[in-house]
Amino acid sequence: MKKIGTICATVMVFVIAALGYIALGVAVYGCWLLAKWFGLIVGGVVVYYVCNDALKEMAGDK
């Protein structure tokens, strides 16, 4: 019986470790995706405002 308990404990430790590893991977990947999209959105907004100002200045110069 003790051997079965040890095997079960070992399996549980491996399962918990695997779940933790998967959760960590998902969290890192999620943060990377979030950072990527956030960067694209912020970059897009900055480009829009810079171009908008440049267009207004060009229109004002005419």
**Tens-digit pLDDT profile for residues 30-55:** 999 999 999 999 999 999 999 888 88
Is residue 62 over pLDDT 80?
Answer: no
**pLDDT value of residue 61:** 66
Is residue 2 over pLDDT 90?
Answer: no
Label residues 8-22 b or e (16+ Cβ within 10 Å = b).
eeeeeeeeeeeeeee
**pLDDT value of residue 54:** 85
pLDDT tens digits for range 7-24:
999 999 999 999 999 999
